[in-house]
């Protein structure tokens, strides 16, 4: 494996309030990292630092190991219900994820539309392409935002609690899609459900003021205690959670 980018001694703050202190981590190509930790622990802040939206007080993110560019990062922000007053369609939103890759004219051509269709097809959104955003369920909306984050063909995909509104019956399907995407991009995904995602991620990062990297997907309450990560696994034992795959 080779390093895609690294976080070096990053301390991040809002005004005078320090939220992340001395965070250091190398992110490997094609890793699928579950980012867990308590509310207010700094998970979203970490993603903002990686995206270059929040400048660290000290330290830096080094994108040079894998020659990663900021426009090669796809980002799906934390979604709150009722975020969707725009009268835009699903297709519009997916296309908006490709803005940075368009030419100076900024026009959406046939090529962009074809690519948007492929992404919608892959994520099971074709039937909703011309539906308005405010007519979607929370889970459908999260799939649309995922499609937008993916449509720019990123090398790094940052997901902030992407499945909060995804019903348990669609959950396995949703994570299956992420697993497919992981074949071609590195993924960092914030989640509050360490038990469920352990069946899908390759590793964990516990964020609580600082970061602990856990290089495999089996994580125990004991690990969490060592990392100072006060969250509780939903289920216990060697295999923390059993995920039932969908039968055809």
Interacting residues with ligand ATP between 49 and 108 (CB under 6 A): 78
Q: 3 or 78: whose CB is closer to ligand ATP?
A: 78
Q: What are phi and psi of 28, to 5 degrees?
A: -85, 145
In DSSP terms, which residues pair with 7 in a beta bridge? 25, 61
The CB-of-94 to ligand ATP minimum distance in angstroms stands at 25
The least CB distance from residue 160 to Mg ion, in Å, is 6
Spatial contact of 24 and 62, defined as CB atoms under 8 Å apart: no
| Closest distance to Mg ion from the beta carbon of 144 (Å) | 20
* Residue 42 contacts which entry, Mg ion, ligand ATP, none (Cβ below 5-8 A, type-dependent): ligand ATP
Residue with smallest beta-carbon separation from Mg ion? 44
Residue 182 as a binder of Mg ion (CB under 5 A): the answer is: no
Residue 110 CB, nearest approach to Mg ion (Å) = 38
- Where do the H-state alpha helices sit in the chain? 43-50, 90-96, 110-122, 138-151, 168-182, 194-197, 221-226
The answer to whether 143 and 119 are in contact (CB under 8 A) is no
209 close to 195: Cβ distance less than 8 angstroms: no
Q: Tokens 């360490």 belong to which residue?
A: 194
Applying CB under 6 A, among 1, 2, 14, 247 the residue interacting with ligand ATP is 14
Options 5, 23, 45, 210; binder of ligand ATP; rule CB under 6 A: 45
Instruction: Work out how close the CB of 212 gets to ligand ATP at its nearest, in angstroms, rounded to a whole number.
Output: 14
d(CA 111, CA 151): 12
Binding mask 10-49 for Mg ion (x = CB under 5 A): ---------------------------------xx-----
Q: Out of 34, 42, 66, 154, point to the residue binding ligand ATP (CB under 6 A).
A: 42
Closest CA to 219 of 83, 236, 174, 191: 236
Please tell me whether residue 126 adopts helix, strand or coil conformation.
helix
- To the nearest 10 degrees (0 to 180), the angle between helices 168-182 and 138-151 is 10
Residues that bind ligand ATP (CB under 6 A): 14, 17, 19, 37, 39-45, 78
């Amino acid at each position: 494996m080779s390093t895609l980018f690294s976080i070096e001694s990053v301390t991040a703050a809002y005004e005078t309030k320090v939220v992340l202190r001395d965070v250091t981590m190398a992110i490997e190509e094609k890793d699928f990292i579950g980012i867990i930790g308590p509310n207010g622990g700094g998970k979203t802040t970490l993603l903002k630092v990686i995206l270059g939206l929040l400048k660290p007080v000290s330290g830096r993110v080094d994108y040079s190991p894998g020659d990663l560019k900021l426009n090669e990062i796809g980002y799906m922000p934390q979604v709150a219900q009722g975020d969707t007053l725009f009268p835009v369609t699903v297709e519009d939103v997916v296309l908006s994820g490709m803005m940075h890759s368009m030419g100076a004219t900024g026009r959406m051509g046939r090529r962009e539309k074809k690519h948007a269709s492929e992404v919608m097809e892959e994520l099971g959104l074709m039937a909703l392409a011309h539906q308005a955003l405010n007519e979607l369920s929370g889970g459908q909306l999260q799939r649309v935002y995922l499609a937008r984050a993916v449509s720019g063909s990123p090398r790094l995909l940052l997901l902030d609690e992407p499945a909060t509104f995804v019903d348990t019956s669609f959950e396995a399907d949703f994570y299956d899609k992420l697993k497919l995407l992981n074949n071609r991009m590195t993924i960092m995904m914030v989640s509050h459900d360490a038990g469920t995602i352990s069946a899908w991620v390759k590793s964990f990062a516990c964020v609580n003021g600082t970061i602990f990297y856990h290089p495999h997907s089996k994580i125990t309450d004991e690990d969490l205690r060592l990392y100072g990560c006060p969250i509780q696994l939903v289920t216990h034992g060697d295999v923390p959670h059993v995920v039932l795959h969908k039968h055809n």
